[in-house]
Structure 1
Amino acid sequence: MLTFFHILVALHIAFGSVGLISFWVPVIGKKGARNHRLWGKVFAYAILGAGSIALMLSICTLIDPLGTHPHLKDAVFVRGIFGYMMLYLAILTLNLAWYGLMTLRNKANHTANRRGLNLALQPLLIIAALICAVEGVLIGQYLMVGMSIVGFATAGTNLFFMFNPNPPPKAYLKEHVKAIVGAGISVYTAFSAFGAVRLMPSLALHPGLWAIPLVIGLAIILYHHRQIRLSLKPRSLKPAGAAS
């Protein structure tokens, strides 16, 4: 089990590293340009790969918590943080990355957002967030409860958009930004926090460490949402008497 687990960890790091680096190209670059589209897809598919492997890592941990984490001694803690919370974060990441791709792909066919995997991931995320919150209360790790709120909010806002029969202009673009940047927040949070368990165990569950990627990500989302709103405003008419 441990050898298989280490192989999964290596693959997870490989996919996640590609996601960590490629995330910034579409965020900083010109929107809609070739590099934006190319690296946006690289990021999304890398995160889907990392999230899928994280799902397997969490299941392995739930099956054998101390066998997969021999450097840690508290099975309840390991099962809670590396099992239930990682399971939830993996589903959250998969949800965001897939939803971000679908909102753009279905921009001309809004009803297609309410089909298949895109729809199924919403109740799945709600269930995973609920399990994470309950487990957090049971083992006294209230960070798990706080993190679960992100999942409830994500699924709630996703469903609101998906079932809106007449979304406003460019609402799909705001949802795309929310989801893709949200996936970036998720992967940066996971790498910084779970990595800290090995390097700085005393700081690993400090709320500040988990809050940094969230604050930066929210700032990016708000900035791009503002840019989208400004793009919807009609251009000012030329002043009277201006040269034609």
Structure 2
Amino acid sequence: MTTLYQYTLWLHASAGMLGLALFWIPIIVKKGSKNHKRIGRWYLNLMMATGLTGLLMALMMFFVPLAVSPPPANLSPEQISELAASTQQRAAFFFLLAFLLIASAQRATLALVAKADRQLLQRPIHLVAPTLLVISAVYLAWLGLADSSVLYLVFAGLGLFIGTGQLWYAFKPTLERGEWLLEHIRSTLGSGIAAHTAFFVFGAASVMEELFSGQMMLLPWILPGVVGGTAIALLTQSYKRRLGSSRSTR
């Protein structure tokens, strides 16, 4: 099991790093161009792969924590139990990041396919990811309140914001003109938040430890979520103003 976890971690990190390398290209190049569409599709596929491997890692952390984090031989049974509980608690955060990546990458793709016709988005198979995102966010919020964890509470709020937003979008009575494009942008940014958080916290952990200490260590964890969440809210309002108040049918 330890070998499977390490192999999955390698795939997860590789897909995530490749995705981050591509993230900014579709944002910079001309929208609707061949490069925007092609590289954007590669990015979303890599984010889906990153989310799925992250989900597998979270499942292993939760159900076989001691196989993922083998305890040193000199630990007492009580210490081993604490180590297992700590690993399972960290799995809750991994679950949220994984569902955030999966739900966001899936919705960013489906929004372009479905456009104003949301019957595709209302299929049960396409509601699983945002529903699990909401559930994992509620669980993480409960852990955050119990442990007074600012990190957990911030990401629980972000997960609830994105997950409930996706579910509402799929079923709300009407759409504003061109709102499917806004849903695509929101979802793409949502995947970027999760990917950048994972990079700063795990991929660049040693660098972050050199730059931050004490409570400031929370900054690289929280900053992508705060900046990304703010960007999503601002872009939503900006595009709503640009698109006007015209409505379209489903």
Matched, 1:40 2:73: no
Task: State the Cα deviation string for residues 135-172 of structure 1 (Å, max 9, x = none).
Answer: 33344534212211111111221122211232011111
Matched, 1:65 2:65: yes
Any runs of at least 4 consecutive aligned residues in structure 1 with deviations exceeding 6 A, and if so which? none
C-alpha contact (below 8 Å) 1:197/1:204 kept by paired residues: no
Match of 2:84? Answer: 75
Q: Flag the 1:70–1:139 CA change in 2: closer, same or farther, 3 A.
A: farther
Match of 1:133? Answer: 141
Match of 1:27? Answer: 27
TM-score norm. by structure 2 comes to 0.81
1:221, distance to aligned residue in structure 2 (A): 4.0
| Number of equivalent positions | 232
Matched, 1:217 2:217: no
Q: Flag the 1:27–1:208 CA change in 2: closer, same or farther, 3 A.
A: same
Work out the CA distance in 2 between the residues paired with 1:62 and 1:226. 39
Q: Flag the 1:169–1:58 CA change in 2: closer, same or farther, 3 A.
A: same
Match of 2:76? Answer: none
- Name the SS for the 2:17 alignment partner: helix
Match of 2:11? Answer: 11
1:206, distance to aligned residue in structure 2 (A): 3.1
- Structural RMSD (CA): 2.7
Work out the CA distance in 2 between the residues paired with 1:41 and 1:31. 13
- Higher alpha-carbon deviation: 138-147 or 104-113: 138-147
- Name the SS for the 2:136 alignment partner: helix
Work out the CA distance in 2 between the residues paired with 1:64 and 1:183. 27
Work out the CA distance in 1 between the residues paired with 2:131 and 2:171. 14
Instruction: Work out which of the residue numbers 216, 219, 222 in structure 2 matches 1:208.
Output: 219
- Name the SS for the 1:214 alignment partner: helix
Q: Flag the 1:221–1:149 CA change in 2: closer, same or farther, 3 A.
A: closer
Percent identical pairs in the alignment equals 27
Match of 1:103? Answer: 111
Task: State the Cα deviation string for residues 48-86 of structure 1 (Å, max 9, x = none).
Answer: 0010000011111112334323489843332212x1110
Q: Flag the 1:216–1:45 CA change in 2: closer, same or farther, 3 A.
A: same
- Unpaired segments ≥5 residues, structure 1: 234-244
1:209, distance to aligned residue in structure 2 (A): 1.1
C-alpha contact (below 8 Å) 1:22/1:43 kept by paired residues: yes
Matched, 1:143 2:154: no
C-alpha contact (below 8 Å) 1:5/1:57 kept by paired residues: yes
Instruction: Work out which of the residue numbers 86, 95, 111 in structure 1 matches 2:94.
Output: 86
Match of 1:238? Answer: none
- Name the SS for the 1:23 alignment partner: helix
Match of 1:239? Answer: none
- Higher alpha-carbon deviation: 140-149 or 12-21: 140-149
1:227, distance to aligned residue in structure 2 (A): 6.5
- Unpaired segments ≥5 residues, structure 2: 73-79, 245-250
Work out the CA distance in 1 between the residues paired with 2:149 and 2:226. 22
AA at the equivalent of 2:14: A
Task: State the Cα deviation string for residues 18-64 of structure 1 (Å, max 9, x = none).
Answer: 11011111111111111110011101110000100000111111123
C-alpha contact (below 8 Å) 1:196/1:203 kept by paired residues: no
Work out the CA distance in 2 between the residues paired with 1:195 and 1:77. 20
Which of the two has higher C-alpha Rg? 1
- Name the SS for the 2:32 alignment partner: coil
1:96, distance to aligned residue in structure 2 (A): 0.8
Work out the CA distance in 1 between the residues paired with 2:109 and 2:185. 10
